[in-house]
Homo-oligomer: A and B are copies of this chain.
Amino acid sequence: MPKVVDREEMQHGILDAAMQVYAKKGYHAATIADVAKEAGLGKGTLYLYFKNKEAIAISMVERHFKGMEDRFFGQKMPGTLEEFADGLSKSMEIPDGQSQFVRVFFEVFGPSFASETFSEKVASFFDKLGAHYAGQIAHLQEAGHIRSDADAGKLGRTLASLIDGMILHRGLFNISAQRHAEMRSEATNVFVRGLISGAQ
């Protein structure tokens, strides 16, 4: 038997290298040769693991969204406002290394949003997220922890938008982890105060 290589591990390594290079030079400015060099491989070798440049980007996104889904949907139904707030805060928390992904993502896929199908796919992700929060809100309303006059559906969507917005804002504008943490706590605070029944 000849030399054997773990394909998945290889692909992971290449994606890491690509992320590094794209974050520094930008996806379009970066050449395949750059990525190969960063990965410590010959240019041709890359093509053994990815069909072409685009395939690298697509794999990168898939890997990333996988992680996001876990972060967003992995949490269990909160029983108290405090747990809910923790969940919100945690959702807004992005690992430092991954926050640069946002920029690369939009450089590569920004144009794709012009297509209906692509756009809808992403939109459905946020619908799901909105519904997720709506479910939690409704649950807490029943338990009397959130004012009952609120429309859980709309609120859920809005919360999703706000949270995603903060993540985007951080990723795109390179807000420092510390300042982001500050904002996260302030935002959570405002949200929760805005949701409780006793308000006004």
Binding site for B on A (CB under 8 A): 23-29, 103-104, 106-107, 110-114, 119, 122-123, 126, 151, 154-155, 157-158, 161-162, 164-170, 172-175, 179, 182-183, 186-187, 189-196, 198-200
Copies of this protein in the complex: 2
Q: Considering the chains assembled together, what is the distance between the CA atoms of A13 and B167 in angstroms? A: 35
Q: Across the two chains, which residue of chain B brings its CB closest to A126?
A: B173
* B-chain residues with CB within 8 Å of residue A173 when the two chains form the complex: 113, 119, 122-123, 126
Q: Could you list 19 further interchain pairs (A-B, Cβ under 8 angstroms) beyond the known A25-B111, A158-B182, A194-B194?
A: A104-B110, A106-B106, A113-B172, A123-B175, A154-B182, A154-B183, A157-B179, A157-B186, A158-B183, A158-B186, A158-B187, A161-B166, A161-B170, A161-B187, A162-B165, A164-B165, A189-B194, A193-B199, A193-B200
